[in-house]
Amino acid sequence: MAVISVLCLSASREGEPGPAGDEEIVVTTADTLEDLLNLAASRPFDVVMIPADLALTPVLNLLEAPGGAPPLVVASSEKGTFIIDFRAHDRSEGGIAPTVREAYRARMAERDLQERERQLSTLLSNLPGMAYRCDNGPDYTMTFVSEGCFDLLGYAPGDLVGSRTVAYGDLIHPDDRAMVWEEIQKALKERGAFRITYRIRKASGDERWVWEQGRGIFARDGSLLSLEGFIADVTYLVLTTEQLRRRELEEKAILDNIPDIAWLKDGDGRYIAVNRAFEQAAGKTADELVGRTDREIWPGYIAERYMSEDREVIASGKRALFIEPFVRGDGLEILVETVKTPIYDHNGRAAGTAGICRDITARRAMEEALRKSEERHRIFLQNFPGIAFKADPGLHPLWLSGNVEGITGYTADEIVSAWVGVDNYLHPGDLESGREFLEEILTSGKESAADFRIVRKDGAIRWGHIRAQAVRDAEGRETSIQGAIFDVTEQKEAVAKIRDLAKFPEENPGPVMRISRGGRILYANGASRDLLKTWGTEEGGVLPETWREVVASSLSSERIKRRDVAVDGSDFTITCVPVAGADYANLYGIEITERKVMEIAVQDANRKLNLLNSIIRHDMLNQITVLQGYIDLTRQSGEGGPHLGRIADATERIRRQVEFTRDYQELGVKGPIWQDACAAMKKAFASLSPPGISLDCTIGPGLEVLADPLLGRVFYNLVENTVRHGTGAQTIRFSAEASSGGISLVYEDDGQGIPGEKKNRLFKWPSGKNNGLGLALSAEILSLTGLSIREEGAPGQGVRFVISVPPSRFRYREEPS
């Protein structure tokens, strides 16, 4: 409900207005004119009621001054609208309230109309264009134009109204007039609005683009009264749009000519644009792609991945690279490298993404093949025993790989970085020749090789074999040298050793020959000439039949054969050595003339000593026999007393010792021979034929032992030991066992064994209850050829004698085929 505030003098309260209609009237009274004026100055009132006799100019001025806009007063004045209370003349109309309300409403309506006109004027004057009303004719004669026409056309409103200076129709570009007329007439016919973009010519002669929107104003009878509308300058928009369209065409042409797949998406993930490569790869047209999301185009697992990437790029605001799958139109899944970049709106916010991707399936396959190849080369170079290198034309190393530190003692970085100069690792004597070698490669462009000495970091000298070639650029110029260096120190030393060894046969004072399986002499040193002359042959010829058989036998049996031969009064031992895996044997001759003479002298001396020993031994045994005969006669006669038995025992011991000298005399007189172990044992057992004792020999007949010819005497002594001391023995076992140092021949019986306190003295002089010399003699016989004997039996469980035979002292005889 509206409120109307009224101020009046108390003298006027009889006619005080009351509430009526939708308005509420609030009345404030003043007792005096002065009070009224003070109240009017303190706050505003809608109506001031004063008697007519006070409605004088001074009073009215006082009422107007405080607010600048005077309230309604019951009076009439040139300064505004006032109501004067004439209640004294017409009291029958019920007071002044209706009059006050009507005056108030009229004032408010007037104020509203004035405000609307002000707002419309302000709006029209501030619009970037021109509002108009005109006739419907080719000249479009204006009846009203807004103030904006000057900025738009360069003409004042008065120049256009009534076509006083120029008709608007003449300002339209000649090429656009027909189109403008047709569009307006079409809209009038449809009773709708028309919207047209066309060109005009300003007062300055400049051509501008304008956009016009308007409609026809019709009377109630349907007749056209006028055209009303608005015209705005859109030159910038048109030109910008044209530039944008041209740029879009150019960009699309560029994108379509890019072989890579390219696209644009908005913030919702919908495709805005795609290039021709995208269409071809996806097997779809742009119309089938634009406006769709990834979910509508790709398989689910790919679509989710693409959209997740888009969200990541938009959220980060940064370009990102992805390696991901792409399904072609034919259904084949390929691998692509994708770059996605955020697109920003005019506010700088990420509003979408731009993407471009490239098929890298073949590249990845090549990269994988290259990686594997590089890995193979890397492993090869890491394990390369030599040094792979590349040097620039100034002969400075560019890179090194392989066993650099192992050969030079320096790391590759130390050499490449020039911390270590070439004079540090190349021998001073080879510096000049080494530089000339590399320069010659650069000059000639040919591959070459040479050997140089390398000085290691620790000062050691190594030999290096370098093989290098020039590297040419596209124009065929030698730009660098690459190659490899191998450590050939061992080869050099081996060659030197071979050369040195090659001198050995020639330097050997004895004959040295190489003989083929057929007996042909492949090589013979100078010392062999006299022997070959004796045989009636020469180098390249054939050996005599006898020696061909020796060589053939040695090669077939793979055993060394020896023969003695006399040449011009000199004696030689020729040794035939078969070469393993080869079809030839080597003959080595050693002159033994002096040895032969010494052997003959020794044999002659031994013969004489043995003859003397035999005569003395024979005479002593004869005298011992006579002595024993007298002892027996004395025992039979009952004479001799208690000491006769002791004399008899001492005489028997003397006899045995004399007999022992006979065996010992033969010890070492003859050289060792190969003897069948089992046969020798059986022969020794048979010579004793001990009653109640059997022999169990488990050694095969093929096992032979290289020992003194008295080996049988060793076995005889063992059997005799069992017979004499092996109380209760019934079986002798003879076997062979493998051992780490060759084989062991084991002799065992089941007698009482040997007490522990006597084991240490078994093989010493003398021992035993009777002769005590058999086991000591056995140990001596075996030691002549490197064999040894020990006793390992347990007391009360029989004896166990173990004869150790080294590897070179036994063999298995081949059975005749």
Q: Write the pLDDT tens digit of every residue in 266-299.
A: 999 999 989 999 999 999 998 999 999 999 999 9
Strand-pair category, 731-739 with 694-697: parallel
Q: What is the pLDDT of residue 338?
A: 94
pTM of the full predicted structure?
A: 0.33
How far is the C-alpha of 553 from the C-alpha of 563, rounded, in Å? Answer: 13
Which 3 state secondary structure label does DSSP give 734?
Answer: strand
**Residue 502 CA from chain centroid, whole number:** 52
For 10-27, the DSSP string reads GGGGGG----BTTEEEEE
Which 3 state secondary structure label does DSSP give 621?
Answer: helix
Q: What is the pLDDT of residue 501?
A: 78
φ, ψ dihedrals at 100, nearest 5°: -65, -45
Q: What is the pLDDT of residue 770?
A: 47
Burial of residue 113 (number of CB atoms within 10 Å: 0-12, 13-18, 19+): exposed
φ, ψ dihedrals at 786, nearest 5°: 85, 10
Q: Is the dihedral of CA 370, 376, 379, 380 positive or negative?
A: negative
pLDDT in tens, 452-506: 898 888 888 989 888 888 887 767 676 788 888 888 888 888 888 888 877 778 8
Q: What is the pLDDT of residue 52?
A: 61
Contact 218, 200 (CB under 8 A): no
Strand partners, 30: 9
Q: What is the pLDDT of residue 398?
A: 82
Q: What is the pLDDT of residue 163?
A: 92
**Residue 430 CA from chain centroid, whole number:** 41
- ∠ Cα 404 406 409 (to 5°): 80
Other beta carbons within 10 Å of 576: 22
Q: What is the pLDDT of residue 531?
A: 85
Q: What is the pLDDT of residue 77?
A: 41
Residue numbers in the chain where pLDDT is lower than 70: 1-2, 11-23, 52-111, 113, 117, 120-121, 123-125, 377, 380-383, 419-420, 474, 476, 478, 602-619, 640, 643, 652-653, 655-669, 765-773, 814-817
Supply the DSSP symbol for 579: P
Q: What is the pLDDT of residue 120?
A: 67
For 86-118, the DSSP string reads -TTT--TT--SHHHHHHHHHHHHHHHHHHHHHH
**CA-based nearest residue to 738, from 685, 793, 812:** 812
Q: What is the pLDDT of residue 253?
A: 78
**Cα dihedral angle (677, 679, 681, 687), rounded to 10 degrees?**
-150
- The CA R_g of the chain, rounded to the nearest whole Å, is 70
How far is the C-alpha of 792 from the C-alpha of 773, rounded, in Å? Answer: 20
Contact 249, 241 (CB under 8 A): no
Q: What is the pLDDT of residue 17?
A: 52
Q: What is the pLDDT of residue 84?
A: 41
Q: What is the pLDDT of residue 428?
A: 87
- In the chain the domains, ranked by start, together with CATH numbers, are 2-118 (3.40.50), 127-233 (3.30.450.20), 246-364 (3.30.450.20), 386-492 (3.30.450.20), 508-591 (3.30.450.20), 670-812 (3.30.565.10)
- ∠ Cα 692 697 703 (to 5°): 155
Percent with pLDDT over 70 in the chain: 81
Q: What is the pLDDT of residue 698?
A: 93
Return the amino acid letter for 128.
P
Q: What is the pLDDT of residue 299?
A: 92
Other beta carbons within 10 Å of 495: 11
**CA-based nearest residue to 207, from 172, 169, 160, 168:** 172
pLDDT in tens, 305-350: 999 999 999 999 999 999 999 998 888 889 999 999 999 988 888 8
φ, ψ dihedrals at 74, nearest 5°: -75, 85
- Here the contacts of 470-477 (C-beta below 8 Å, separation 24 or greater) are 470/441, 470/442, 470/444, 470/445, 470/446, 471/390, 472/445
pLDDT in tens, 719-773: 989 998 888 899 999 999 988 878 999 999 999 988 888 887 888 766 444 445 6
Question: Tokens for 195?
Answer: 């919207």
Q: What is the pLDDT of residue 11?
A: 56
